[in-house]
């Protein structure tokens, strides 16, 4: 494999003040890219920039909540003004407003959709315009979630947004292919402020903070590790080594990397002249109904005490 060298490349990473976004920004900078760090908290964004600089990287901060066209254009313009171009966009910014369907308000729904789905759309559109003008290709890395691949209880808004992001990757990979712009969704699983709130993971996350590594059953069996474990995928996808990879949903976490399948028909049945409700009721259970699919993010399998 060629070494991953992003020297001369410029990246925007949304939501990169902390957590996974910060790990992505650090990984890109460590491989030579200049990075525009984005967060809604100025102190957090500046601290991220400082940490990248102290590690020998180059970064600036742009403090703006993603979602609007104006915010997207600010991020792209900042990259061009500071570093002269834009080559890589990582759409990581996100929020949670978890509630079951019958308790979720319009505001809960709209806030998550605006940040995740519209924020990804507006930022990707602004980046694609710039990359096409440059005429040298580029990379869009859209951050998805297992919730978007399988659904998750209490996450109507988040699951819908992340499912849409995976669909963006498939669609934009076709639309931007001629411009040599690759588009992929990544599906990270890591110990973050979000996963710390899950009781089953909490003791292991606390142990990690005290210097104890995650056990193999988490890192391998569950594909669950640190944000830095997930970050390796980002500079790889932004590099020349991955120019042939586009339109994919790629999972990463702990010691595990995986390709998620795209939705597709897995079983079909036919009736001459078409179906009626009665013929469906008769045939469904033993034909396509025999292949009903599971839903939800599987619960972690912890070893017995």
Domain boundaries, the chain: 10-190+226-260
Let me know if 105 is a catalytic residue: no
Helix (H) or strand (E) holding 22: helix 19-30
Let me know if 145 is a catalytic residue: yes
Closest CA to 198 of 300, 109, 76: 300
CB atoms under 10 Å from CB of 276, counted, come to: 10
Name the active-site residue from 34, 145, 173, 239. 145
Let me know if 58 is a catalytic residue: no
**Sequence-distant (≥ 6) Cβ neighbours of residue 62 within 8 angstroms:** 36, 37, 38, 45, 74, 75, 78
* Among the four given CATH numbers 3.40.50.620, 3.40.50.720, 3.40.50.20, 3.40.50.300, the one describing domain 10-190+226-260: 3.40.50.720
Calculate the alpha carbon distances from 40 to 2, 26, 68, 112 in Å.
36, 18, 13, 15
Name the active-site residue from 158, 173, 204, 239. 158
Structure tokens at 209: 């903070």
Calculate the alpha carbon distances from 124 to 38, 63, 201, 224 in Å.
15, 18, 33, 28
β-bridge pairing 138-143 and 88-91 = parallel
Over its length of 305 residues, how does the chain's per-residue pLDDT go in tens digits?
458 999 999 999 999 999 999 999 999 999 999 999 999 999 999 999 999 999 999 999 999 999 999 999 999 999 999 999 999 999 999 999 999 999 999 999 999 999 999 999 999 999 999 999 999 999 999 999 999 999 999 999 999 999 999 999 999 999 999 999 999 999 999 988 767 767 777 788 888 888 888 889 889 988 999 999 999 999 999 999 999 999 999 999 999 999 999 999 999 999 999 999 999 999 999 999 999 999 998 887 777 65
pTM for this prediction: 0.95
């Amino acid at each position: 494999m060629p070494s991953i060298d992003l020297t001369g490349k410029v990246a925007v990473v949304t939501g990169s003040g902390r957590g996974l976004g910060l790990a992505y920004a650090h990984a890109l900078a460590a491989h030579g890219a200049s990075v525009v760090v984005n967060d809604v908290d100025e102190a957090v964004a500046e601290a991220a920039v400082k940490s990248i600089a102290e590690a020998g990287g180059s970064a600036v901060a742009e403090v703006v909540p993603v979602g609007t066209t104006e915010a997207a254009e600010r991020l792209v313009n900042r990259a061009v003004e500071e570093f002269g171009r834009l080559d890589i966009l990582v759409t990581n910014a996100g929020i949670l407003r978890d509630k079951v369907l019958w308790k979720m308000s319009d505001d809960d729904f709209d806030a998550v959709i605006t940040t995740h789905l519209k924020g990804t759309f507006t930022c990707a559109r602004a980046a694609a315009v710039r990359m096409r003008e440059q005429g040298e290709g580029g990379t869009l890395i859209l951050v998805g979630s297992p919730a978007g691949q399988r659904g998750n209880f209490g996450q109507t808004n988040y699951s819908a947004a992340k499912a849409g992001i995976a669909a963006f990757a498939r669609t934009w990979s076709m639309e931007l292919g001629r411009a040599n712009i690759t588009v992929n969704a990544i599906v990270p699983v890591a110990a973050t402020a979000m996963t710390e709130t899950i009781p089953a993971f909490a003791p292991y996350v606390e142990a990690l903070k005290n210097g104890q590594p995650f056990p193999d059953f988490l890192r391998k069996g569950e594909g669950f590790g640190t944000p830095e474990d997930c970050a390796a995928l980002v500079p790889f996808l932004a590099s020349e080594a991955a120019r042939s990879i586009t339109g994919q949903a790629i999972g990463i976490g702990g010691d595990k990397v995986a390709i998620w399948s795209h939705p597709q028909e897995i079983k079909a049945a036919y009736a001459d002249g078409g179906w009626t409700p009665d013929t469906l009721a008769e045939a469904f259970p033993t034909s396509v109904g025999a292949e009903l699919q599971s839903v939800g993010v599987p619960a972690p399998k912890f070893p017995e005490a």
